Amino acid sequence: MALSPLTNSNPGTIFGLAVSPTNTSQVIAGDSSGKIYRSADGGSSWSVVYTGKSSILVIAYDSLSPNVVLAGTQAAGVVVSRDGGATWAAASGTSSRSVRAVAFARTLMFAATDHGVYTSADGSAWTASGLSTVSLDAVAVEAVNDPVRAVVGGDGTAGSIPMYQSLDAGATWAQMTPSISGTVITRLTTGPLPAKSDVRPLVVGTNTGLFISADNGATFTPLSGASLLPSVDYTQAGFTSAHFDRFYVASDGGGGGTGGLWATADSGQHFSSLQPPVPSITALAVSRDEQSVLYVATFRASNHAAELWAYRDTGGTPQGPFIFVSPTATPARTNSSGNPVLAFLGSLASSQAPYIALGVIALGLIVLAAVSHFRSRRR
């Protein structure tokens, strides 16, 4: 039996998770057994679409070419799909590399590997692009048009944290000296451009905290520590597609129960916990809807169980835990949208519930007033 997140047997740990930029119901997951799974119905059912021999470390859609999906593996390079994740093939040029993160410019793709940066024009063929002696864990694109600007980060030592920037599409790299804590950069991600600005927000996660920059990494503001977010490792982060100040961050907590999932709508000035039922978050995918759907993979240290969850962020106060998508659960009734999972999530997490209640109360008062008026006319 395939080790799908939605079978009766547990899958491997889920490190790769992505949602289509054009279809919120299309989700792809990859686990430590080397399998890639695809769902076309928001996680109600899954099929195995690729079986490899190495752990899947990352999965990402190219938002500029949504049919292109990349998966990075442990010591087996990149595998690529050109049909939205239905079929997969090994890419050339990275066959022995551990590919831990990928990012996309308009005409160029970047991969962060255990031996430097690799670039590709189409995802099928890759070439080394410098920093071959550096073990990299994260990559992000700060400018998608020429001249392409990219930033990478990886493993360091006490007193240093390797972070590099390229202003020429990866032809050359210069070391940065960010004023951030930690010895490993675990996550880099950029958001959409703010109005009247040509600089994207850059969020950096390290093994000890979270930071944000509004000037291409020249300066950073801490988002963790003291009365802010906890000082843990931040391995996941994702922006909404239309709001530069709305993003989500997550941590696996090192398996020690200190992880979590948080949301901000003001560039990190304030965060709210989305109260995941399992605090160890190993993968996160954010849909491009105005009210985002978050797909989340978790890991239970007690029994090594990997699970998938989903949450629709309507902007209101979180309404309890996520809903676990399980094949043994009672089937949900389908509404007019055709997606029972997302419809169920939306109904539970909806911030409109208080307004519905107020409407019911108002209607009751109107009825009482009408009855009183009718009785007064009969006297």
How many residues does this entry show for the chain? 379
Which of 136-140, 228-232, 370-374 has the highest mean predicted lDDT (pLDDT)? 136-140
pLDDT, tens digit, for every residue of 141-188?
A: 999 999 999 999 999 865 678 999 999 999 999 999 999 999 999 999
Q: What is the DSSP letter of 209?
A: -
Decide if 371 is inside a domain: no
Distance of CA 334 to the CA centre of its chain: 27
Decide if 7 is inside a domain: no
What region, left, alpha or beta, does residue 7 occupy, with left being phi > 0 and alpha being psi -120 to 50 degrees?
Answer: beta
Partner residues linked to 305 by β-bridges: 300
Query: Could you give the number of structural domains in the chain?
Result: 1
CA angle 231, 191, 229 (to 5 degrees): 15
DSSP string, 242-297: S-TT-EEEEE-GGGTT--EEEEESSTTSS-EE---SSS-EEEEEE-SSSSPEEEEE
317 phi and psi, to 5 degrees? Answer: -70, 135
Decide if 160 is inside a domain: yes
Decide if 330 is inside a domain: yes
Kindly state the tokens that stand for 373: 């008026």
Give the predicted TM-score (pTM) of the model: 0.81
Q: What is the pLDDT of residue 115?
A: 96
Decide if 365 is inside a domain: no
Decide if 60 is inside a domain: yes
Q: Which residues contact 230 (CB under 8 A, 6 or more apart)?
A: 224, 251, 258, 260
Decide if 1 is inside a domain: no
Task: Give the pLDDT band (50/70/90) at residue 22.
Answer: very high
pLDDT, tens digit, for every residue of 305-361?
A: 888 888 888 776 544 334 333 332 222 323 333 333 333 333 333 334 443 343 434
Task: Give the pLDDT band (50/70/90) at residue 26.
Answer: very high
332 phi and psi, to 5 degrees? Answer: -80, 150
What CATH number is given to the structural domain containing 50? 2.130.10.10
Give the least confident one: 19-23, 120-124, 144-148, 368-372: 368-372
CB neighbours of residue 315 within 10 Å: 12
Q: What is the pLDDT of residue 108?
A: 96
What region, left, alpha or beta, does residue 279 occupy, with left being phi > 0 and alpha being psi -120 to 50 degrees?
Answer: alpha
What region, left, alpha or beta, does residue 354 occupy, with left being phi > 0 and alpha being psi -120 to 50 degrees?
Answer: alpha
- Which among 30, 127, 153, 5 is positioned nearest to 88, based on CA atoms? 30
d(CA 247, CA 193): 13
Decide if 361 is inside a domain: no
Alpha helix segments (H runs only) across the chain = 340-349, 353-378
pLDDT, tens digit, for every residue of 44-90?
A: 888 999 999 999 999 999 998 999 999 999 999 999 999 999 999 99
320 versus 189: the higher-pLDDT residue is: 189
Q: Which residues contact 292 (CB under 8 A, 6 or more apart)?
A: 240, 248, 286, 312, 313
Structural domain of 141: 14-350
